[in-house]
Structure formats: C-alpha cells, structure tokens
Amino acid sequence: MPPFDKNMHFTLTPEQEQIKSETLAIASKLSAKDRTSRDRESRFDADGWKMLAQAGFFDGFLPEDFGGKNWDTLTKVIALEAFGYSCRDNGLALAVSSLVWTIFPPLLTFGSDEQKKRYLPQLASGNCIAADGITEEQSGSDAMAMQTLATRRNDGYLVNGEKCYIGFAPIADLILLFAKTDPNAGSWGISAFLVDANTPGIHKSDNREKMGLRTLPMGNIAFRDCLIPHSALLGSEGLGLSLFNESMEWERSFILATQVGAMARQLDSCIAFAKKRSQFGKSISEFQSISNRIADMRVRLETCRLLLYKTASLKDQGESITLESAMTKLTLSESFVASSMDAVRIHGAQGYLSEFEVERNLRDATGGLIYAGTSDIQRNLIARLCGI
Ligand SMILES: Cc1cc2nc3c(=O)[nH]c(=O)nc-3n(C[C@H](O)[C@H](O)[C@H](O)COP(=O)(O)OP(=O)(O)OC[C@H]3O[C@@H](n4cnc5c(N)ncnc54)[C@H](O)[C@@H]3O)c2cc1C
C-alpha cells in the first residue's frame, strides 16, 4: 500500500484569497473583443502580455531579491488557476505558464548573479520574451537524443542545429537552448545556454499553423554557425541533464494549473447553458445524459484541483514529487480534453461553432496531451515508479 499523505491544508489563507481575487481582476482586463479573430489569425495578445507585466502579475513568481513577492508554490498555482478562470485565451495562459515554469525556475536555480540581474527584470516587465528550445525534428519524447551541437572554442561556443515546435519561437528575444557540448557523453554531454535571439546565425521561422493554442506563436529556431559567448552557458558544461530534469519537474507538475481554472469556468458555463436551453418542453438539464456529463465534469475538476494542490504542497514541504508530477500532468491534460468534449456535446451545434467559444477549448486542450511530455510518457513514468 503506498503511504497516504502528510499534512495538507487547502483552506486558502486570507493572503491567498486576496491574490486570487486580484488575479481574477487583472485577467478580466484582458481584451475580449478580438479573441476569436486572434485565434483564427494565430495572433499573440501582445498588449495583454504587457498589461499583465505592468500589473506586476509575474512578480509573484520571483523572489524578493528580484523585486518579486516570493509566493510559495501552492500560492502560485492558486493564482494561475484564478488566471485560467478569468482568461479565456488558453494560448496566452500557456504563454504565462511557460514563462513562470519553464524559464524562471532554471534561471533562478542555475543562473549566475549576472544572468539573473540581466534577464529576470526584463522578463518580468514583459520587455523580453523567452522560448524554451529542447525539441528537435528527430528527438521529441527522447529529448536527450538531440543533435544540436555547441562546440567550445576560445571565442565562445559555435552552435549548429535546429529546434522544432518551440512556443514563442517567431517572436522570441531570448532562447533557453539545450545543446550537446560533448557528443560522446550521452545525456551528460548536454549543456544549457541563455542565448540572445538576435545573435547572427539564428533563424527564427514564421509561425507554424496548429490545431489549437493558436494565440501562442510556435515555430522552429535554426542555428547556423552561430557563435555565442562563453557567458551564455547556464550553470556548468554537462549540467544539461540535471537542469532538464529539474526544469521538467516544474513544467510537468504545474504548467497545466491555468487549465484547472479553465475547467471551472467551462463547468459554470455548461451549467448555465443546460439550465437555460429547453428541448421537448423542458430544460435539457433534466435529461440524465446532460446531468451525468455535468457530474463527470465536476468530479474531474475536483480531482485535478486536489492533485495540483497536493503536488504543490508537497513541493513546498521539500518532498519528492516525481510520481505526483507525472500523475498531475496526465490527469489534468486528459481531464481537460474529456471535459471539453462534454462541453461540446452539452452545447449541441453551439458547441461546434467557433463563435460561441466552446469548441476552442477542445482544440486547445489537445495540445496538453503532447507538450511537457505526452500522456504515454507520463504513464511510463508512473508505471516505473510503481515498480514495473
Ligand atoms: C502546443 C505545443 C507546444 C510545445 N512547446 C514546446 C516548447 O516550447 N519547447 C520545446 O522544446 N518543445 C515544445 N513542444 C514539443 C513537445 O515537447 C514534443 O512534441 C513532445 O515532447 C513529443 O515529441 P514528438 O512530438 O516528437 O512526438 P514523439 O516523441 O515522436 O511521439 C510520437 C508518439 O509516440 C509516443 N511515444 C514516444 N515515445 C514513447 C515511449 N517511450 N513510450 C510510449 N509511447 C511513446 C508518444 O506518446 C506519441 O504518441 C511543444 C509541443 C506542442 C504540441
């Protein structure tokens, strides 16, 4: 029998309640007027991003030394859940999550003082957009099989290779780059770098069209004889695997926190719609097939929230979260797809038409099955931790 859990109290403190309501208020200022056209045209909400930065939203994710508010992990996920509830643009929500879970943690843990001072204020102020460059055409789930090479020379590292499916790639100012510095050392030959995206030899593709999450631009970043300074190295040479594992744990555990908020919003609107819509002379909420779907959505929301809070709480207690991290990613991603499908069914034709903003969640949710490790990879991890 796996042991059950330690002390966990999920009653929100007055401070967390305040952060939650402030976040709801900030996110409600995001423009609704061209949300569907932004999705159709794959346009990033650059004004919204600036507004969030100016409102100090990213400060909560930074320590006090860097002008931050030093929130603990549980408070961060509570804030992100509130953000996801109020922000109907899931691409923007993923952009926020990518910054705070894939860029901030490795920079804070492994960055030099100089790197932190240089990049953290720029990132938090919305003036610098960072992309996380791991995946390549031939190395997705098997990320350590990457081929991008950073060859050390006296004048810096010469980088050659190409990263694929990178969020923010077309508009990135900064790239967290993973590359091989010692091709003979396997996973231990990988290093990480913080690279100025305007360095000669870097070629950012245009946006690549995708099924969902269209408001977060995505593309490739090619490095062709690109010379970067030694000071771009994050941590030390060969640290890439540790850095990758540490970063992936944050990402896997918490990148879908905003989705829990989106699921809560989705449930509220499905309940309201079911009560309002009548067929055969009565409210469709009286049909058991509809109420069962609502019940399933509620159970999924509660399961996701508990897993998310539990994982955050364990992290704050300094416990290992390897298992919880994979279970959280798997459950949150699969649940949002299932609930989004239920939402489409409940809404009938309105669920299928883009203008009602129901179908978009289903397209956006599907991406969550793939990024930060596919569901199959999460199951592999969980099974391994079960001893098989
Ligand atoms: C919306 C989105 C945003 C992304 N953002 C970024 C980003 O910012 N930076 C970045 O570096 N990457 C990013 N990615 C890429 C993402 O990390 C990869 O797509 C992911 O790791 C899977 O790799 P792949 O697409 O090459 O699929 P593959 O690894 O080729 O997998 C194909 C299929 O095989 C299965 N499979 C593979 N290996 C195993 C195994 N061992 N056991 C069981 N099944 C297996 C997979 O589950 C999948 O079903 C993003 C992807 C998406 C969709």
Answer with the one of 184, 216, 238 that is the final residue of a domain.
Answer: 238
Concerning whether 334 is annotated as a catalytic residue, the answer is: no
pLDDT digits (tens, 9 = 90+) for 8-20: 778 899 999 999 9
Residue 7 is assigned to a structural domain of this protein: no
Containing domain of residue 46, as a range?
14-129
pLDDT at 145: 96
Q: If you search the block for the tokens 């416990």, which residue do you land on?
A: 319
- CB of 67 within 6 A of ligand 1: the answer is no
pLDDT at 51: 96
Residue 161 predicted with pLDDT over 80: yes
Cβ-contact 44, 91 below 8 angstroms: yes
252, 380: one domain:
yes
pLDDT at 9: 76
Average pLDDT, the chain: 96
What mean pLDDT is predicted for residues 232-259? Answer: 95
For ligand 1, the distance from its centroid to the CA atom of residue 54, given in whole angstroms, is: 34
Q: What is the pTM of this model?
A: 0.96
Q: Which two tokens stand for residue 87?
A: 């922000």
Q: Which two tokens stand for residue 248?
A: 């992936």
| pLDDT band, residue 6 (cuts 50/70/90) | low
Q: Which amino acid is at 237?
A: E
| pLDDT band, residue 32 (cuts 50/70/90) | confident
Residue 269 predicted with pLDDT over 70: yes
For ligand 1, the distance from its centroid to the CA atom of residue 43, given in whole angstroms, is: 23
Answer with the one of 72, 100, 129 that is the final residue of a domain.
Answer: 129
What mean pLDDT is predicted for residues 304-314? Answer: 97
Residue 2 predicted with pLDDT over 60: no
Residue 5 is assigned to a structural domain of this protein: no
Answer with the one of 82, 114, 129 that is the final residue of a domain.
Answer: 129
- CB of 133 within 6 A of ligand 1: the answer is yes
For ligand 1, the distance from its centroid to the CA atom of residue 372, given in whole angstroms, is: 8
- CB of 262 within 6 A of ligand 1: the answer is no
Q: Whose CA is nearest to atom 12 of ligand 1?
A: 135
Q: Where does residue 247 rank: exposed (0-12), middle (13-18), buried (19+ CB within 10 A)?
A: buried
Ligand 1 test: best mutation among 195, 210, 374, 379, most atoms within 8 Å of CB? 374
pLDDT at 4: 53
Residue 233 is assigned to a structural domain of this protein: yes
Please, how many CA atoms are within 13 Å of residue 154, restricted to the half-sphere of its CB?
0
25, 104: one domain:
yes
Residue 210 is assigned to a structural domain of this protein: yes
| pLDDT band, residue 5 (cuts 50/70/90) | low
127-155 burial: b if 16+ Cβ within 10 Å, else e: ebbbbbbbbbeebbeebbebebbbeeeee
Residue 43 predicted with pLDDT over 70: yes
Q: For the chain, how long is the longest CA-to-CA vector?
A: 80
* CA 144 – CA 362 distance, rounded (Å): 31
Residue 320 predicted with pLDDT over 90: yes
199, 104: one domain:
no
- CB of 192 within 6 A of ligand 1: the answer is no
* CA 145 – CA 169 distance, rounded (Å): 21
- CB of 188 within 6 A of ligand 1: the answer is no
DSSP code per residue over 236-279: STT-HHHHHHHHHHHHHHHTTHHHHHHHHHHHHHHHHHHHH-EE
Number of structural domains found in the chain? 3
- CB of 141 within 6 A of ligand 1: the answer is yes
Domain at 323, CATH number? 1.20.140.10
